[in-house]
């Protein structure tokens, strides 16, 4: 069901509350935020649209997990500072989410002003989807725009509850996410490939169930590949195996074979004698030659190149999960090779899931080379699993 979009909401001259997702690293100050500001940049089109409409733009976001209490280290003022730089205009920070201070600050706003409220999760009513908190949040504004796709899978006061009190619509970021992921899921140009990695098979069960029969190619790397390789009878050393997912892995491979879907697993892997960023010893071996006590840390450069070659024949690629322990530089090469190969393809739709995959693409400087990089890890995964996202379901139909 199509949901109301921003251009279908009367925002001209109105006080507009926008739920954004500014949950970014702040422990290294402004410099750290500037390195990982994809989520801020992604919502700029919505903010600028509202400014052009003469709206008074009131932004709200969470940051971290303060569990309903005020945590000084999780205030949003630094994020507001970075946003002001990106917008090239002032952003006023209010150290409250609701109450007289907020009402006063909003009443003083002029057309085109931007205001950032304090961390929503300082209030216990946020994650409880408390109606009274949602009502207070809505009390100083005229309408609501949902532009935080990364939390659209959460039924919180600022994502779902608030739509009961205000005329609402999805912002340009959420609209782009829904349309890009929806096309990849429902009407992809074929051949269609899923490139899956990350730590665990269990994280991708519903995704595989929902996607498998639509695929032409399934590529599996990262920690996921360990369980799949083990299911095929290969020794995987000391690497963590999801014993309770071995049968599922075999079923996926059987279903893929029956549907003529090509499954790609690494032929060679990078191994280490300890699971550490700087282990005592590393090697590259065939998947059948992993010694006891050693850990699979990455797919090998040769296997990454094989993945890249096969991906070059696809027209749509859905990527969720790195190919190795990407956060350890020694074991980031497989992800880097595959990412650079995907980024270099022309005439191909590349949809990158959020979370660690988006962070890897951002770190590699390849954001603008992908068709769509999702801002939401859990949300993009649940969308591709075919689940309804509460923060989108709560919006009125178009």
- Give residue 27's pLDDT: 79
The answer to whether 133 and 98 are in contact (CB under 8 A) is yes
The answer to whether 296 and 272 are in contact (CB under 8 A) is no
Fold of 6-172: Rossmann fold (3.40.50)
pLDDT at residue 141 above 70?
Answer: yes
Residue 241, both tokens: 């195996």
Q: Mean pLDDT score of the chain, rounded to an integer?
A: 95
The answer to whether 370 and 346 are in contact (CB under 8 A) is no
Measured distance CA(17)–CA(40) in Å, rounded: 16
Catalytic center residues: 39, 200, 355, 378
- Give residue 38's pLDDT: 83
- Poorest-confidence range of 29-33, 240-244, 366-370? 29-33
Three-class SS string for the chain?
A: CCECEHHHCCCCCCEEEEECCCCCCCCCHHHHHHHCCHHHHHCHHHHHHHHHCCCEEEEECCCCCCCCCCCHHHCCHHHHHHHHHHHCCCCEECCCCCCHHHHHHHHCCCCCCEEECCCHHHCCCCCCCCHHHHHHHHCCCCEEEECCHHHCCCCCCCCCHHHHCCCEEECHHHHHHHHHHHHHHHCCCCCEEEEECCCCCHHHHHHHHHHHHHCCEEEECHHHHHHHHHHCCCCCCCCCCCHHHHHHHHHHHHHHHHCCCEEECCCEEEEECCCCCCCCCEEEEEHHHCCCCCEEEEECHHHHHHHHHHHCCCCEEEEECCCCCCCCHHHCHHHHHHHHHHHCCCCCEEEECCCHHHHHHHHCCCHHHCCEECCCHHHHHHHHCCCCCHHHHCCCEC
Question: What tens digit of pLDDT does each residue of 30-59 get?
Answer: 777 887 788 899 999 999 999 999 999 999
Q: What percent of the chain has pLDDT over 90?
A: 90
Pick the closest to residue 35 from 365, 342, 331, 377 (CA basis).
365
Q: What percent of the chain has pLDDT over 70?
A: 99
> What is the mean predicted confidence (pLDDT) over 81-105?
97
Whether residue 365 has a cis bond before it, omega within 30° of 0 = no
How sure is the predictor about 1, in pLDDT bands with cuts at 50, 70 and 90? low
- CATH code: domain 180-384 is 3.40.50.1260
- Give residue 30's pLDDT: 77
Domains of the chain by residue range: 6-172, 180-384
Question: What tens digit of pLDDT does each residue of 311-352 get?
Answer: 999 999 999 999 999 999 999 999 999 999 999 999 999 999
Question: What tens digit of pLDDT does each residue of 257-312 get?
Answer: 999 999 999 999 999 999 999 999 999 999 999 999 999 999 999 999 999 999 99
């Amino acid at each position: 069901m199509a949901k109301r979009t921003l251009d279908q909401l009367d925002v001209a001259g109105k006080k507009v509350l926008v739920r954004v997702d500014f949950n970014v690293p702040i422990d290294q100050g402004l410099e750290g935020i500037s390195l990982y500001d994809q989520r801020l940049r992604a919502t700029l089109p919505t903010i600028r649209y509202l400014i052009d409409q003469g709206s008074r733009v009131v932004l709200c976001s969470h940051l971290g997990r303060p569990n309903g209490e005020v945590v000084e280290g999780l205030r949003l003022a630094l994020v507001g500072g970075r946003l002001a730089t990106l917008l090239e205009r002032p952003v006023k920070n209010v150290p409250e989410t609701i109450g007289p201070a907020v009402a006063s600050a909003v009443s003083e706003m002029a057309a085109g002003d931007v205001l950032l409220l304090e961390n929503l999760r300082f209030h216990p009513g946020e994650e409880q989807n408390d109606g009274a908190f949602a009502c207070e949040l809505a009390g100083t504004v005229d309408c609501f725009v949902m532009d935080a796709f990364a939390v659209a899978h959460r039924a919180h006061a600022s994502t779902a509850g608030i739509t009961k009190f205000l005329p609402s619509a999805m912002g340009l970021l959420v609209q782009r996410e829904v349309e890009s992921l929806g096309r990849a899921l429902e009407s992809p140009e074929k051949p269609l490939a899923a490139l899956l990695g990350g730590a665990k098979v269990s994280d991708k069960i519903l995704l595989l169930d929902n996607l498998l029969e639509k695929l032409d190619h399934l590529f599996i790397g990262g920690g996921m590949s360990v369980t799949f390789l083990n299911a095929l009878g290969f020794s995987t050393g000391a690497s963590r195996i999801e014993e309770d997912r071995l049968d599922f892995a075999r079923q996926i491979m059987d279903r893929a074979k029956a549907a003529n879907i090509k499954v790609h697993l690494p032929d060679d892997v990078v191994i280490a004698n300890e699971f550490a960023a700087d282990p005592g010893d590393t090697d590259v071996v065939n998947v059948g030659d992993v010694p006891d006590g050693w850990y699979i840390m990455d797919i090998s450069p040769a296997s990454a190149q094989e993945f890249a070659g096969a991906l070059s024949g696809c027209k749509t690629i859905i990527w969720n999960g790195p190919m190795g322990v990407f956060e350890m530089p020694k074991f980031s090469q497989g992800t880097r090779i595959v990412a650079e190969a995907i980024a270099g393809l022309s005439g191909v739709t590349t949809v990158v899931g959020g979370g660690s995959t988006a962070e890897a693409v951002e770190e590699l400087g390849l954001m603008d080379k992908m068709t769509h990089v999702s801002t939401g890890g859990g949300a993009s995964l649940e969308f591709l699993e075919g689940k309804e996202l509460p923060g989108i379901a709560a919006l009125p139909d178009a």
